[in-house]
């Protein structure tokens, strides 16, 4: 290990919280590395690249893929080290008050401070609990939608009742031949405006219902019908279908916390104990985004940005105790001024 191998802060997770933390760490003149387990940056947004994102101030509703582009370009402004396809599996204390991060491939990463921005962990979609359903994943059963045009003029069945399922139903309604939304509970769980929009369009809504059977074509390689059952009446209904989309949420991997020796405390299945400034009970380890929960926490992208600023400021003071407790307004920061034109090109081109 040489001095060049040591970073001021290493950010684990390349979603919105991690990417904005990377930018803000550069603004505060810290040597920064960001590490992402997936092949590409963007975090959970990569699951929904065509889904419209509504909750970022000053940015009109935009596809998630475009939001990722902006976040990545912003994160690169101060030339951080960016590693993708690198899964960190443990955190340990080293000498000289350094942390050692061990990657799945055996590589070691050395850092003075850590920012945890892993969201709900490495996410895997909850699969449809029907025997044999997995064989249709190569044809017309999917757990996200990568291209809306694929659904044009088709009959689409969506199973789920949260924000993602409702948003997909509304996006597909003017494109598909027909959209059916099936939800096992009696009330949808999306934003009110989107639920109202759905109730006022042509989406066929099947509440208190679930898919109980899939019927395939003669070759047995493509779903042609789904059978659903209404849980109160037990009435079954057969729906002809071209595409089936399952939005039943995700299961999370938390191998990082299980393997680490630093003693991070979890308060719930998905959350690391931290305060509103991103401070965990382990000195030198901070957290931002959906990985943390505290009174007043906002689990939106906008909330991730707020978390990132607070946590990065705490990291700066941890590394440099004499540092100011927050960054100066960027437009008044001489160090930042030579970057202004670059940012203007990025965000207003």
CATH number of the domain located at residue range(s) 127-246 in this protein: 3.50.50.60
* Alpha helices, H only, 108-247: 163-172, 192-199
Any known ligand binding at 36? yes
- Would the annotation count 331 as a binding residue? yes
**Which tens digit of pLDDT belongs to each residue from 109-153?**
999 999 999 988 766 788 999 999 999 999 999 988 878 889 999
Residue 166 confidence (pLDDT): 94
Fold observed for domain 3-123+251-348: FAD/NAD(P)-binding domain (3.50.50)
> Position of tokens 């309604």?
173
Same fold, 3-123+251-348 and 127-246: yes
Our CA angle for 152, 154, 159, nearest 5°, is 105
- Could you give the CA distance from residue 165 to residue 169 in angstroms, rounded to a whole number? 6
* Beta strand pairing call for 178-182 and 204-206: parallel
Burial class (CB in 10 A: 0-12, 13-18, 19+), 263: exposed
Structure tokens at 232: 């109160």
90 is an annotated ligand-binding site residue: no
Domain boundaries, the chain: 3-123+251-348, 127-246
Whether residue 343 has pLDDT greater than 70: no
Look at residues 223, 93, 210, 118 and name the one whose alpha carbon lies nearest to residue 160. Answer: 210
User: Does the structure show a pLDDT above 80 at 327?
Assistant: no
Give the integer Cα–Cα distance in Å for 264 and 255: 13
CB-CB contact of 169 with 205 (8 Å): no
Highest-scoring range by mean pLDDT, 48-52, 92-96, 255-259, 308-312: 308-312
pLDDT for 325 equals 81
Token reading at 88: 């960190």
Q: Is 48 annotated as a binding residue?
A: yes
Which segment of 15-29, 119-133, 305-319 scores lowest on mean pLDDT?
119-133
- How much is the pTM? 0.75
Mean confidence (pLDDT) of the chain: 90
The band of 192, judged by pLDDT with boundaries at 50, 70 and 90, is very high
For residues 266 and 274, the answer to whether their CB atoms sit within 8 Å is: no
List, in order, residues 6 or more apart from 76 with CB less than 8 Å away: 82
Question: How high is the pLDDT of residue 202?
Answer: 97
Do the Cβ atoms of 210 and 228 come closer than 8 Å?
Answer: yes
């Amino acid at each position: 290990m040489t001095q060049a191998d040591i970073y001021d802060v290493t950010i684990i997770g390349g979603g919105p919280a991690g990417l904005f933390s990377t930018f803000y760490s550069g603004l505060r003149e810290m040597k920064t590395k960001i590490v992402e387990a997936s092949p590409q940056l963007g975090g959970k947004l990569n699951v929904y690249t065509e889904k419209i994102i509504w909750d970022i101030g000053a940015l009109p509703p935009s596809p998630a893929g475009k939001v990722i582009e902006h976040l990545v370009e912003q994160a690169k402004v101060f030339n951080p080290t960016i590693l993708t396809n690198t899964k960190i599996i443990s955190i340990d204390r080293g000498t000289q008050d350094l942390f050692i991060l061990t990657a799945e491939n055996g590589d070691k990463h050395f850092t003075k401070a850590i920012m945890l921005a892993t969201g709900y962990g490495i996410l895997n979609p909850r699969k449809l609990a029907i025997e044999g359903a997995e064989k249709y994943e190569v044809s017309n059963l999917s757990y996200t939608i990568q291209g809306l045009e694929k659904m044009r003029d088709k009959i689409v069945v969506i199973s789920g009742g949260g924000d993602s399922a409702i948003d997909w139903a509304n996006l597909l309604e003017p494109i598909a031949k027909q959209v059916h939304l099936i939800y096992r509970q009696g009330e949808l769980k999306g934003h009110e405006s989107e639920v109202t929009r759905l109730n006022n369009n042509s989406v066929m809504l099947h509440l208190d219902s679930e898919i109980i059977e899939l019927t395939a074509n003669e070759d047995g390689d493509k779903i042609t019908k789904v059978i659903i059952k209404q849980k109160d009446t037990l009435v079954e209904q057969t729906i002809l279908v071209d595409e089936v989309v399952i939005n039943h949420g995700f299961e999370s991997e938390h191998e990082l916390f299980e393997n680490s020796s630093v003693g991070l405390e979890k308060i719930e299945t998905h959350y690391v104990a931290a305060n509103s400034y991103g401070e965990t009970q382990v000195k030198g380890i901070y957290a931002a985004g959906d990985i943390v929960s505290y009174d007043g926490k906002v689990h939106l992208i906008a909330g991730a940005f707020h978390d990132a600023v607070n946590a990065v400021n705490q990291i700066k003071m941890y590394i440099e105790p004499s540092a100011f407790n927050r960054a100066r307004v960027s437009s008044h920061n001489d160090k930042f001024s030579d970057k202004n034109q670059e940012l203007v090109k990025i965000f207003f081109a």
